[in-house]
A = this chain, B = another copy of it.
Amino acid sequence: MNFLSDKKILLASKSPRRKQLLKDTGFSFTVIKGKEVDESIPEKITGKDVAIFLADLKADAYTNEIKENTILITADTIVCLNDKILGKPKDYEDAFNILQSLSGKEHKVITGVSVRSAEKQISFADETSVKFKDLSKEEIDYYITNYKPYDKAGAYGIQEWIGYIGITEIKGSYFNVMGLPVQKIYEILKKFA
């Protein structure tokens, strides 16, 4: 099924989850370390626009470096509760407060993706709604202590224990919540064949 066998795909990401997801989708690619970028978000943009802005920002760092027959993929995942973006937790207390704010409520996970070659670029975002049950203090404490979700926006990973015991329902793509909307990426990559 590799319709891009004559192309070299680069995934600029530090996330082991994104690497695994793209691999399981059947693509051959090389992971390159994402460049550090200033992730300040312009005022007045929200939701999907923020995720696309951040994915584009990560890709912009490679402007003029994308060689012929090469495709660069960058992505950024944000977690929004009532339009407020929840970042990665600074410490235990911050993680606790974030998870408590998600408890019993529905929030949105949005992943922005930028796909670029020397000739063209396509950016898009995918949104999934995620609903948590009422989490007890003991459950939140157990999760943070054992899983240390300090590298995760929204302070949780859906593929970890808290996703198993705490998430009652999602609407959209599960893999998007994990960090990469692989079904949509598969379709977009066809346009680069």
What residues of chain A have their CB less than 8 Å away from a CB belonging to chain B? 1, 21, 24-26, 133, 138-139, 142, 158, 161, 164-175, 182-183, 186-187
Decide if A183 touches B166 in the complex (CB within 8 Å).
Answer: yes
Decide if B167 touches A169 in the complex (CB within 8 Å).
Answer: no
Decide if A164 touches B182 in the complex (CB within 8 Å).
Answer: yes
Q: Which residues of B have CB within 8 Å of A1?
A: 138-139, 142
Secondary structure of the A side of the interface?
A: helix
A158 to B133, CA, bound (A): 24
- This chain: how many copies in the complex? 2
Decide if A164 touches B186 in the complex (CB within 8 Å).
Answer: yes
A45 to B174, CA, bound (A): 31
Residue of B nearest to A166 (CB): B183
Instruction: Report 18 cross-chain contacts, Cβ distance below 8 Å, ordered by A residue.
Output: A1-B138, A1-B139, A21-B164, A24-B164, A25-B161, A25-B164, A26-B164, A26-B165, A133-B187, A164-B183, A165-B183, A165-B186, A167-B183, A169-B172, A170-B171, A170-B173, A170-B174, A171-B171
A142 to B186, CA, bound (A): 15
Decide if A171 touches B169 in the complex (CB within 8 Å).
Answer: yes
Q: Which residues of B have CB within 8 Å of A24?
A: 161, 164
Residue of B nearest to A146 (CB): B1
